[in-house]
Structure formats: structure tokens, C-alpha cells
């Protein structure tokens, strides 16, 4: 199944207090390495593959294919019927600054993976079937 959505929403504070700044993924995306589609951030739990990434004015837009022939892809497809539509990024922060309210502004990050999740840290990080 082909899906697309926003894996990260620029300037939206997530549940941990992080806000991703526009342009934060630019250097990571230039390196053009494979970024896995995982099930709930579980290492090795591949649910499919991402076919494209791009920064837009709203955030990091992703497009990919959930593979129903992989065990975790099959699980994800089954969960779509019950409302699964969340995305969550796994990343390493490279540059950030602390905000007076205690959260971080993430200026540059290395994207490690993008997971399918039920409850994303950033409430508007969602996907839909195409």
C-alpha cells in the first residue's frame, strides 16, 4: 500500500518539548542514504520502504510502500483498519538550542528512521493511504 504524509511538522512542539526548525533535515537528505520504514521504532522490524523524502513549508514529507509480505508490514496493514496513521522520526540531533521554556529547537538532525506508530510524539505527524 502506498502512503504519504508528514513525518515531522516544522515548529510544532512534540510531547518531549522538541521543535524541528525548517531546514533541519537538509544536510541529512543530501547524503542520500536509505532510511528504513520501521514498526514502532523497533530495530529490524521493517514494515516497508520509503520511496521519497522532501522538506516542504510544513515539514518533512514522506512517501513509501507498506509491504504486506513482510511480517511487520502485514501487521501495519491490519492496524490501518483500526485507525493507524501516525508517523514518528528516529533521529540524532546535530545542532540545537535550548529554549527558555525548557524545550529544544532542533536546527540540524540526522534522520535515522521513520516509523509507523499509533501515537506520534508530534500530534500532526500523520499519513494517509494514496
Report the alpha-carbon distance of residue 88 to residue 111 in Å, rounded.
11
Residue-wise DSSP of 57-115: SSEEEEEEEE-TTSHHHHHHHHHHTTT--EEEEEEEEEEEEE-TTS-EEEEEEEEEEEE
Confidence at residue 81, expressed as pLDDT on a 0 to 100 scale: 83
How do residues 8-28 score in pLDDT, each as one tens digit? 999 999 999 999 999 999 999
pLDDT digit string, tens, across residues 106-128: 999 999 999 999 999 999 999 99
Q: What percent of the chain has pLDDT over 90?
A: 91
- Residue ranges covered by each domain of the chain: 2-129
pLDDT confidence of residue 120: 96
CATH architecture of 2-129: Alpha-Beta Barrel (3.20)
Q: Quote the Cα angle for 92-84-44, to 5°.
A: 45
pTM: 0.94
Amino acid at each position: 500500500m502506498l502512503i504519504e504524509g508528514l513525518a515531522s511538522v516544522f515548529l510544532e512542539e512534540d510531547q518531549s518539548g522538541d521543535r524541528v526548525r525548517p531546514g533541519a533535515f537538509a544536510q541529512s537528505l543530501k547524503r542520500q542514504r536509505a532510511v528504513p520504514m520501521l514498526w514502532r521504532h523497533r530495530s529490524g522490524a521493517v514494515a516497508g520502504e520509503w520511496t521519497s523524502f522532501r522538506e516542504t513549508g510544513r515539514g518533512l514529507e514522506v512517501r513509501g510502500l507498506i509491504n504486506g509480505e513482510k511480517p511487520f508490514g502485514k501487521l501495519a496493514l491490519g492496524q490501518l483498519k483500526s485507525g493507524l496513521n501516525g508517523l514518528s522520526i528516529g533521529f540524532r540531533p546535530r545542532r540545537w538550542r535550548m529554549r527558555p521554556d525548557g524545550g529544544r529547537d532542533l536546527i540540524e538532525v540526522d534522520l535515522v528512521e521513520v516509523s509507523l506508530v499509533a501515537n506520534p510524539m508530534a500530534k500532526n505527524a500523520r499519513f494517509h493511504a494514496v
